[in-house]
Amino acid sequence: MKNTTLLPGQGRVTPEIVVRTVKMVGTPNRLSDESLILHNCDEFLRIPNAFGMIIRYAMKANSLEALLQLIASKGLHIDASSINEVWRAHRAGFPYDHIMYTSQQIPLTNREKLELEDMVKQGVKFTVCSIPHMEFIADFAAANKIAVAVRRHPKEGSGESVTRDTGSPYSPYGAHPSDIPIILEISRAKHVIIDELHGHIGSGSDPKKFKEFVPGHLRFIEEFGMEDVTKVNFGGGYKEGRMPDEIPADINDLGEYAKSEIEAFYKRTGRKLVMELEPGTRIVANSGYTILTAMYLKQNGPGGCKFVVCNGGMELVTRPLLYGSRHPLYGVSREGELISSEFNLGSLTLEKDGKVVTGRCCESGDALRLDKDGNVVMVVMGNIRARDHIVVGGTGAYCSSMSLKNYNSYLEPPEVLVRIDGDLDLIKKGQTREQMVQNELPLRKLN
Ligand SMILES: *Cc1c(COP(=O)(O)O)cnc(C)c1O
């Protein structure tokens, strides 16, 4: 059992590697799997396309330098959500002209304005997401003959939760169709070229909704007479399957469909469009694990709820509390035996073996499985003892990058990468107490 991979048939993380990582850095820690990240990049690069394709990794999913380096080595480009993300991507080795800036952020200070303009001048693609974005960039883009992208509000979207649907009437992302004529008017008046139409319907979106979105997005280019558009960006959000019963989106099928629609657009208009896709989750989610130790077991009285209390929870893996998202939980003994896996329950049952797996924060929502209303949910766990490990799967996306840093003053954990050859590389040191408080200043004067 030591050498079977935790995620059936995928990646190379085994109980043996879990225990080796724990020996190296202790717990809690985060572990990423190089082989699966590279494999996921390859899957996207193989998607069929009509007239060329660019895959942009949406780096807000996980922005660690070492992972960005792996993804850059595959030739993917970047979707950045902020100026700081552009800075981080460039620092990790992405040339500016492989980075697209699609952000809600508009510089408020002159320093930020000059920095962003300099990045754009060096090749960063600027996406206009509203009329103020266009007003911000128009003169600079025209003076430097730099083409921009426009992100439109798709009017209908889809997400794994309401909070991740970027097409709803209550979502501010992208210029609403009623604002597009004004943006086009500015572009004509100031001679700003718009060479790309962008759209993103949401995270963990329903593949059916993606298919509805694609032809409408292409029609939009024709309807609004966007004559200079040579690239069409369909955004990201491709559903991943983290749990045994979750079905990932068939990206090949979606690519095939988008390809046929781009070909139909060519037949109608004689224009060949390059396709851009922006996966975040699908590149990194299943490559990441968060490794905890069961500190102790307890029970709320005879017949009451059974708990496994771990040395990490909501502050490290916030998605269950935030969205009711499920992550597979594995039991791995300290000797490196697989005690339980939700992918292979064997004779374990929820009635006999169901436990609530909690973290250590003073907050009743600090559990590793919750429903969408925030109620704790039992998980089938094997015969876990104190000091055995609970491994949380599928934590490569929106966990390290979206954690509740230092809540209850718990520190950010170290991160390790298991390389293709099985070596373990430390890719992020654990935070120290001093680092947690380093920017705080004491009162200058006591009353
Ligand atoms: C977040 C985001 C993505 C990636 O979404 P995933 O669900 O992680 O694939 C892509 N494009 C844009 C504009 C985004 O905001």
Percent of the chain with pLDDT over 70: 100
**Is the pLDDT at 167 greater than 90, yes or no?**
no
**Is the pLDDT at 32 greater than 90, yes or no?**
yes
pLDDT recorded at residue 298: 97
**Segment (H or E) for 424:** strand 424-428
Euclidean distance between the first and the last CA atom of the chain, given in angstroms as a whole number: 63
Cα gap 212→202, rounded to integer Å: 13
Closest ligand 1 atom to residue 102 Cα is: 13
Residue 108 carries which side chain, given as an amino acid letter? L
pLDDT recorded at residue 155: 83
What's the 3-state SS for 291-338? EEEEEEEEECCCCCCEEEEECCCCCCCCHHHHHCCCCCEEEECCCCCE
**Is the pLDDT at 362 greater than 80, yes or no?**
yes
Residue that is written with structure tokens 């992550």 in the block: 327
- What mean pLDDT comes out for the span 106-114? 96
- What mean pLDDT comes out for the span 300-324? 96
DSSP track, 68-103: HHHHHHTT-EEEESSHHHHHHHHHTT--GGGEEE--
Could you count the other beta carbons within 10 Å of the beta carbon of residue 224? 18
- Find out whether 266 and 51 touch, Cβ atoms under 8 Å: yes
Confidence band for 1, pLDDT divided at 50, 70 and 90: low
Report CA-CA distances (Å) from 201 to 181, 204, 210, 233, 243: 21, 9, 7, 11, 23
Q: Which residue has the higher pLDDT, 420 or 157?
A: 420
pLDDT recorded at residue 165: 87
Q: Please write the tens of the pLDDT for every residue from 202-224.
A: 998 899 999 999 999 999 999 99
Q: What token pair was written down for 373?
A: 């209303």
Cα gap 293→426, rounded to integer Å: 19
Mutate to test the pocket of ligand 1, among 164, 171, 198, 203 (most ligand atoms within 8 A of CB): 203
Q: What DSSP character marks residue 109?
A: S
Q: Please write the tens of the pLDDT for every residue from 36-55.
A: 999 999 999 999 999 999 99
* Nearest alpha-carbon partner for 381 in 373, 370, 369, 372: 369
Closest ligand 1 atom to residue 280 Cα is: 8
- What mean pLDDT comes out for the span 275-287? 98
Q: Are strands 329-332 and 389-392 parallel, antiparallel or unpaired?
A: antiparallel
Mutate to test the pocket of ligand 1, among 79, 238, 240, 284 (most ligand atoms within 8 A of CB): 79
Mean pLDDT over each residue of the chain, to the nearest integer: 96
- What mean pLDDT comes out for the span 135-155? 97
- What mean pLDDT comes out for the span 237-258? 97
- What mean pLDDT comes out for the span 158-177? 88
Cα gap 265→269, rounded to integer Å: 6
Q: What token pair was written down for 250?
A: 């068939």
Ligand 1 touching residue 200 (CB < 6 A): yes
- Find out whether 139 and 186 touch, Cβ atoms under 8 Å: no
Residue 391 carries which side chain, given as an amino acid letter? V
pLDDT recorded at residue 9: 86
Query: Which residues are within 8 A (CB) of 204 and not within 5 positions of it... i.e. 6 or more apart?
Result: 159, 160, 161, 164, 237, 239, 240, 281
Q: Please write the tens of the pLDDT for every residue from 74-93.
A: 999 999 999 999 999 999 99
Protein residue with least CA distance to atom 9, ligand 1 = 237
How many angstroms is it from 421 CA to the middle of ligand 1? 31
Q: What token pair was written down for 52?
A: 């060329």
Confidence band for 27, pLDDT divided at 50, 70 and 90: very high
Query: Which residues are within 8 A (CB) of 128 and not within 5 positions of it... i.e. 6 or more apart?
Result: 134, 137, 148, 149, 150, 151, 175, 183, 194
Torsion of CA 405, 200, 42, 316, to 10 degrees: 10
Cα gap 368→317, rounded to integer Å: 7
Cα gap 29→361, rounded to integer Å: 17
- Find out whether 360 and 25 touch, Cβ atoms under 8 Å: no
